[in-house]
Amino acid sequence: MKDKRSGGFVDALATFIVDKRRILFLIYGIAFVFCLFSMNWVEIENDVTTYLSEDTETRQGIVAMNENFAAFSTAQVMVSNITYERAREIAEHLGEIEGVELVAFDDTAAHYTDASALFDVSFAGGNFDQISLDAVAEIRQMLSGQDLTIYTTVGYDENATLRKETTTVLIVASIIIVLVLTLTSRAYMEVPVLLLTFGAAALLNMGTNFLCGKISFISDSVAVVLQLALAIDYAIILCHRFSDEHETKNARDAAIAALKKAIPEISGSSLTTVSGLAALGFMEFGIGLDMAIVLIKAILLSLLSVFTLMPGLLVLFSPLIDKTCHKKLLPNISFAGKFAVKTRRVLPILFLLLLGGAAWLSNLCPFAYSYMDIKTTKMTEHQTSYFKIMETFETGNMVGLVLPGSDYEAEPRLLRELEQREEVISTMGLSGMEAMEGYRLTDALGPRELSELLELDYEVTQLLYTAYAAEYDQYGSILSGIENYEIPLFDLLLYLKDQMSAYHISLGGEEQQAVEELFHQLDLAKAQLQSGSYSRMVVYLDLPVEGEETYAFLEELRGIIGQYYPGDYYVVGNSTSSRDLSDSFVKDNLLISVLSIVFVVIVLLFTFRSVGLSVLLIIVIQGSIWINFSIQTLNHEPLYFLGYLIVNAIMMGANIDYAIVISSHYQEQKEKLPPKEAIIRAINAAFPTVFTSGIIMASAGLLIGGLSAQPVVSVMGATLGRGTIISIFLVLFVLPAILVLGDSVIERTRLGKKTTQPTQTTSEGTVRLRGHVRGYIQGEVDAEIRGEIRGKLEATVSPTALVEKEDGDHA
């Protein structure tokens, strides 16, 4: 009778999963159908500034602008190889297109230079309103014979573009994965099983993202590919365990035995990855938590698929797996182990010198906090148009001022002072907009002036002023004489519009059309520049988006504003968001670096129980991170700060697994072999796993970097792919030499029970043995031996073996 107590919980769980595989198939089938629908429920956030802390000026200013002001779509239309006179004609024609509200063009260098004209066009609708889409289409048709470049967000769906890119990346990555898995598999039919398992995990993750409410475009675009790269190892481990067990057991029993052994092994392997990703969740910049949740969920769902779906698939496809077995395709790399042994006294020293230089260079890495000016390997027409216009015109660095209330006296004084600064190209506000015949919108006019301006009867104008004063409880002005009462033109015209609408007053003919056009322009100005709580101004700076000079002027700008507006106000733009992101990066960089190392060290200590080994592994992977980013410094390429933080955490959490695999095999081999021989066997044993996982991760990263036009995603993919290649090289060629040279340090710093190295034993007579012996016992032997030997013994004996002579003395 079978002893039920012998298996334990893991054994019972493994048996249940394998025996109930048909029910699990049904559950997964239902879940897949649900996820096919629910993956369309996910909301995507494209603006990274929404993840800034709520106490930052940029975040508060954006909220205030979104709640109080309308945003109309715009376009920059550049026509090259054209005369100024022809450009003036085009500007007039553009203004006549239905849906075009405003065309800005003049003879300044901002709009005409080197035979190229730039028209700033504002539309009546939003980016996806039909009126804006039709207007852009008509502009393209009207200027089809010209050397035309249009940069606009009208009709540009970044999410759709990213998803197309992700699909392309997945297709190419799948081809590479199939080739890599074929090389490392033991049977060709194992590859479909692995792909089905991963596909299930990826679909579950995409289908459950809606539970997060809203996820960033970064998480949405890279989660699937990174999930594949980070979690494919788990399926490979179980698959190889099944192959080993299936040599002596039927498919069902082999699956149970394999799962029983794989659950603790795979769970332990996933801890470093999860811990590295968990460090992202502590970032002050909220996008770190967003990525941590999505990617950790991806890892957990990958584990779930491997533990509950894959065993059933292995049993189901076991006949085909048996028929498609093939010989080992991946060669041994004993040369790497021999190289490590020969260079063990030189290579670690050279690596430490390289480490120092890489650490210094990586600290000089040029970071970017706005990704608009980062060029990618692949660029969309949208990006190409932007850079072409930027290379021809200096369009200025736009900053928005969100100011409390509507102060028609303070606003013009502020604009005049700003226009006198050499850092300011131009400004825009209500008080700077001309209404008619030299009057600006915020100029205050009396009844006589308005009567002459609009050619209205003076008595009618007086009645209008009297009604206005009564409406706003300004009876003192009526009593003191309405002829001396002055009202800002903007407010008066809006009041007139409301009265004409309320009493259905119509002037008729051309006068009515002119008045309606004027009222329409007032509505647009009010929607964009004035609300009940705030007024808004726009300032164009002759400064770069990023840099200490820009940040210093922003502080001066705040001081100038404070002289006129004592209340709460906000300065919002790419420069302010870059400054806030820069401030958060300083904190997050240190936090991510420390936490990821601490979390991984804790896992390593529990895994190897050696302080020395844990430190050595961390040094190697940290070295790969520094070398990776020092290359960015040497190439003088700006690195988007978010890519640095994410790649740092992923490399520390995931690439460390390659070092763990080799170190684990080395520790096992050391129990029966000297260090020099143990490292050669360890590298050969670990190479298939490192090769498979590493090549998939590197390919995924490089594909994202090369095929994605989104700067954040592209930079992150490229640096992750390059960093993984560096990690693989260091793990295969530098780490082995460090392990052999530092073996004594590893053993001296071991926690708990100390172990000893295999020893060369010589004995003659009767010897009791229990353990691994390799050598000569009146003939060569390499086996686990339990019993007595009578004769001469010359062999390497593991430290766990009991070697005693018959008289009880140790041999």
Q: Return mean pLDDT, the chain.
A: 83
Out of 279-293, 457-471, 581-595, 787-801, least confident range: 787-801
Give the residue, 764 or 384, on which the prediction is more confident: 384
Checking if the pLDDT of 24 tops 90, the result is yes
Nearest Cα neighbor of 197 from 280, 297, 276, 311 is: 311
Cβ-contact 614, 602 below 8 angstroms: no
Mean pLDDT across 5-25? 83
66 token code pair:
């979104």
Give the residue, 654 or 770, on which the prediction is more confident: 654
pLDDT tens digits, 387-408:
898 888 876 688 889 998 888 8
Exposure of 808 by Cβ count < 10 A (0-12 exposed, 13-18 middle, 19+ buried)? exposed
Checking if the pLDDT of 797 tops 70, the result is no
pLDDT value of position 766: 59
Mean pLDDT across 491-507? 74
User: What is the band of 774 on the pLDDT scale with cuts at 50, 70, 90?
Assistant: low
With both helix axes pointing from N to C terminus, report the angle between 217-246 and 711-733 in degrees, rounded to the nearest 10. 30
Checking if the pLDDT of 6 tops 50, the result is no
Amino acid at 777: I
Torsion of CA 20, 22, 26, 28, to 10 degrees: 70
pLDDT tens digits, 32-88:
999 999 988 888 888 877 888 888 888 888 888 888 887 778 899 999 999 999 999
Q: Are strands 639-640 and 367-368 parallel, antiparallel or unpaired?
A: parallel
Cβ-contact 574, 400 below 8 angstroms: no
Checking if the pLDDT of 144 tops 80, the result is yes
39 token code pair:
């993956």
pLDDT tens digits, 671-715:
778 888 888 988 888 888 888 888 888 888 888 888 888 888 888
User: What is the band of 5 on the pLDDT scale with cuts at 50, 70, 90?
Assistant: very low
pLDDT value of position 730: 92
Cβ burial 322-347 (10 Å sphere, 16+ → b, else e): eebeeeeeeeebeebbebbbebbeeb
User: What is the band of 1 on the pLDDT scale with cuts at 50, 70, 90?
Assistant: very low
The gap from C-alpha 378 to its chain's centroid, in whole angstroms, comes to 17
Alpha-carbon span 708 to 714, nearest angstrom: 5
pLDDT tens digits, 182-209:
887 788 898 899 889 988 998 999 999 9
Checking if the pLDDT of 646 tops 60, the result is yes
- DSSP class of residue 367 equals E
Cβ-contact 89, 103 below 8 angstroms: no
pLDDT tens digits, 528-575:
788 878 888 888 888 888 888 999 999 999 999 989 888 788 998 888
pLDDT value of position 2: 43
Out of 121-135, 492-506, 633-647, least confident range: 492-506
In the block, residue with structure tokens 């890519």: 643
CB neighbours of residue 406 within 10 Å: 20
Mean pLDDT across 766-773? 58
pLDDT value of position 722: 92
pLDDT tens digits, 327-338:
877 788 888 888
Percent of residues in the chain assigned helix, strand, coil, to nearest 5 = 65, 15, 20
Nearest Cα neighbor of 378 from 59, 777, 707 is: 707
pLDDT exceeding 90 applies to what percent of the chain?
A: 19
CB neighbours of residue 167 within 10 Å: 11
